[in-house]
Amino acid sequence: MTSRIFDALADAAREPLATGWIAGDREITFAEMDRLSDRFAAGLLRQGIAHGDRIAVLAPTTPEWLVVYFAAAKIGAVVVGLSVRYRENELAHMLGDSGARLVVTVPSHDGVDFPALLEGLVETVVTFGAGDLTYDDLLLDGPVAEAKAGVTPDDPVMIIYTSGTTGIPKGAVLTHRSQLASARAEVDHIRLDENDVLPVAVPLNHVSGITCCVLSALVARARAVLLPAFDAREIVDLFATAGLTLWVGVPTMHTLLLNRPELDAVDTSKVRLVVTGGANAEPALLERLTSRFPNAPVMNLYGLSETSGAVLMTAWDDDFETTATTVGHPLPGVEIKIIGGAGAELPSGRTGELLVRSTSLMAGYHGRPRDTAAAIDDGWLRTGDLACVTGDGAVLLRGRAKEMFVQGGFNIYPVEVENVLAAHPDVVLVAGIGVPDPVLGEIGRYHVVLAPGATATVADLKSFCAAKIADYKVPKDIVLRDTLPLTPAGKIQKSRLLDQG
């Protein structure tokens, strides 16, 4: 069994006419992707990119994004996944922390000139489209066999940034072996094969996009429909035009899709499975999905950047109650345990921290040995999530040991946003919590105390954040207060804020 990502692509490419990806009216075979990524790999080598070097991709989902990913894998380079929603603060940190030497990006997106924004942050900028050095300039013919031979299954292939409780994003280092292990486990569980068509409506700089969708489809020889961004109206059309057999998304995406009136006129009988990840399936949403996709069981999926993708999923024959209350059982090759505060393993029914052990675990956090040691102990990853195991072995999430909340499928750590708000000259104290929301699942509510005589408004504070962090992290709700509850030691008591809502 292949354990290098480009070997999995080469295996699929042995069927020269088999389509692997669909992007609009364009169909890309596995063989074409293999040839294009060979050429781009040659171009990277010509640019001096070598085994172990980091290169970043800052672009929406396109076939060319994947060409860069597979090309980097072929020469042992490491792709740093970035979002077009990131702005200067985030990009400066992630590029500096990863040591990326080259960024492949779009000339502009949503009015942002990325080459200009990246000036001074990285050695080389390559653009998809017009620019001084373009993607087409790096499609060269040249030898790559020697570079491929030097790549091992345990070499890093991707760095995905995930924020931590310190508010500083850490780069989870994923390997060829870890990503393929996660993809194969998911393929086995959901019975994905060459007859399936699934949408990739989640970003490729997340494991949900690159592992759960793209690599799983590659391993199974399924067709993946690439979408630059999620658009519920476009998804409705795809049920008819692309013949989707799976619908995969986070709860917010499901809600927005189900709210499209055009969906009522679409035949969704070909859809054999619905997968929901990023948060538990609320009973009301689960009922709507079950009603709208009558031939498709709904499965919960639980995974982390640190696990390369999915590690828990509900079963084919789980009843409504189980799917609505648990995130399922471990996938093949995954072990779990629940530990208490003293580190002892707890029996079924007792709540503690969920730990995971699997071949799919990250190699560690890039350049952060202390954080890695704190997160992984004897091969066990501390997820930071509180959970218990039911009598039949299903995992029931109780909450988060960390302060993270999931807003529309995006993991958000309040402290990262707090640090931005605290930099505003009018802000004295700030504390953020996640609160329930009927559409996004959870949103951030930030309690702010202003300096005496300060005139900043809620709109001013949101604008201040919007200029510094990705739009999905910008506070949805800011509450201006005279004081915040404090402990005797002077720390903010977030538990009281949670009680107050």
- Give the pLDDT confidence of 409-462 residue by residue, as tens digits: 887 878 788 878 988 999 988 888 888 899 998 999 999 999 889 999 999 999
Print burial letters for 213-230: b (CB count within 10 Å at least 16), e (below 16). Answer: bbbbbbbbbbbbbbbbeb
Residue 98 has a pLDDT of: 97
Residue 256: predicted pLDDT: 87
Which region, left, alpha or beta, applies to residue 54 given φ > 0 means left and ψ of -120 to 50 means alpha? beta
pTM here? 0.86
Which residues make up the CATH 3.40.50.980 domain(s) of the chain? Answer: 5-151
pLDDT 10s digits, 95-135: 999 999 999 999 999 889 999 999 999 999 999 988 899 99
Residues of the chain with CATH 3.30.300.30: 405-500
CA distance 222 to 137: 31
Q: Cα(first)–Cα(last) distance of the chain, in Å?
A: 51
Q: Which residues pair with 274 in a beta bridge?
A: 247, 298
- Residue 487's pLDDT is 46
Spatial neighbors of 68 by CB under 8 A, at least 6 apart, are 37, 40, 55, 57, 79, 104, 135
Q: What is the pLDDT of residue 401?
A: 62
Low-confidence spans in the chain with pLDDT less than 50: 164-166, 487-490
How far is residue 283 CA from its own chain's centroid? 24
At 279 the pLDDT is 60
Could you read off the pLDDT of 260-291 as tens digits, one per residue?
Answer: 999 999 999 999 999 998 666 678 888 899 99
Q: Bridge partners of 125?
A: 103
Using alpha carbons, select from 200, 174, 205 the residue that is nearest to residue 90: 205
Alpha-carbon gap, residue 497 to 501, rounded angstroms = 6
Q: What pLDDT, on a 0 to 100 scale, did the predictor assign at position 324?
A: 86
Give me the pLDDT at residue 85, please. 87
249-253-254-256 Cα dihedral, nearest 10 degrees: -160
Q: Which residues share a beta bridge with 479?
A: 447
Query: Which token pair is 381?
Result: 């990853």
Count of Cβ atoms closer than 10 Å to residue 137 Cβ: 14
Q: Write out the E strands in 95-155.
A: 102-105, 108-109, 112-113, 124-127
> Are 204 and 179 a contacting pair, CB within 8 Å?
no
Q: Please give the structure tokens belonging to residue 231.
A: 């658009």
CATH classification (class only), 185-356+381-400? alpha beta
Q: Is CATH 3.40.50.300 the right assignment for the domain spanning 5-151?
A: no
Residues carrying CATH 3.40.50.12780, the chain: 185-356+381-400
Do 54 and 100 touch, CB atoms closer than 8 A?
Answer: yes
Say if CB 364 and CB 173 are below 8 A apart: yes
The reported pLDDT for the residue numbered 166 is 46
Q: Looking at domain 405-500, which CATH architecture does it have?
A: 2-Layer Sandwich (3.30)
DSSP output for 286-351: HHHHHHH-TT--EEEEEEEGGGTEEEEE--TT--HHHHHH---EEPTT-EEEEE-TTSPBPPTT--
